[in-house]
Structure 1
Amino acid sequence: MRKPGMNPQVFDRLHAMDPAWATAWAALDRQSAGATLDPKLVALIRLNIDVTATHLYAPGVQRHVRAALDAGASRTEILAVFKLAAVIGIHALALGVPMLEAELAKRNIADPAAADKPATPVTDVVRARGMFNPLWETLSRWDPVWLERFLAMGLPLWTDGVLSPLWIEFLCISGDAAITHLYGHGTQRHIQAALELGATREQVLDVLKIVSLQGIESMELALPMLDAALKS
């Protein structure tokens, strides 16, 4: 048996050590293979999970880059996945800035005096397209230039045509729902966006089922270490 979500040599070793458990996992894997999704998208989702900053699992990245290429993904499409993973850092601000605002309010520390608002054409476009995260509102008021520059980096991912907007939303769901991230607000926003773009319940569920198998990488990482320790 060869499983796309796990190093095949490790799976073979696991099967030799515990065939019942390995067989049960393989059956679950078959039910979580993304039957309603394009195989190339499945490979890109697996890649996105492993390359995102909250995981950075190099063996998985290497394997899923190869799988994505084998599934027909181009260099530009794979690079787009890396770009999506790179912009996940905005979640630190989406999470932390409202908390900072609340703590300052408790201490009666007012916002700084309003300065002349700089032009923010990209932010304006994001608002007009209905893509502006309400958790960015305070950041937009406190540091509109920073947010403008971030959005100038991120918006083209949705508009350059390399990946379809629906595929981008599926990838964002996978990154936010990843077991090493579990960013609830983002997961909900991107599920909503995917449904608005025509995604079905089954497609979103398949994305989440693929993400759920991320835990098998614990076995992939640790089982060779156990073997090495037993031989030493």
Structure 2
Amino acid sequence: MNTSKTVLITGGNKGIGFESARQLGKLGFTILIGSRDQFKGQEAAASLKNENIDAEAITLDVTNLDTIQSAAKRIEDQYGSLDVLINNAGVNLDRGLPPSQLELTVLRDTYETNVFGMFSVTKVMLPLIKKSPIGRIVNLSSGLASLTLNNDPKSDAEKYGVNVLAYMSSKTAVNALTVLFARELKDTAIKINSADPGYTATDLNGHTGYRTVEQGASIVVKLATLPNDGSTGSFFDETGVIPW
């Protein structure tokens, strides 16, 4: 049985997820690439192995409970526990439309991945994380999730100027998951936090972001490797705490 620290990253075959995998792999973690496309997951794992990183692909679609449960069983059988879960998989389906023009199906599909999928993975993986003495959960959120900043015209124009209901509200719900799971787990060793990677160039935004994946992944890696006295139930970007 592998004795190194294990990290499962949903949607880990590309973007911030893949870069987080690369950075954590360089720190000695065993990387489990969760990918709904088996071939793309295997390609990502092979790329990491070429950098002398211990990595493997696990088929995992966050909207498919069977694949989540199968992934958990494989991790339990192979590793016995899970040290870190990075809930990275997400979608942005708004197409820039204002709330009144959003189709209900788009709202539902967004929540299916960004909220319900994250909840499902966290719930199924939690027994494995509880077996770890250093359990960490990092939920990928966004500065656009901050209700405080969204309601302040004087806040960062990047945030106040965006008004897409499905994506933004789904990430606000992600923050709620973080707070409420943290409350439940407050008497355990597990730390769970939300991460804002900033406006990072990824497929999610058509690579329009001005930040690199290396920059975006930095806060994810920091929260994944928090010390035992680190924060839990909070919302961070690389500069510090973000208001809810």
**Bigger radius of gyration among the two:** 1
Query: Larger strand proportion, structure 1 or 2?
Result: 2
Q: TM-score, normalised by structure 1?
A: 0.29
Task: Give the number of the structure whose residues are more often helix, by fraction.
Answer: 1
Bigger relative contact order (CA 8 A; separation at least 6): 1
TM-score normalized with structure 2 length:
0.28
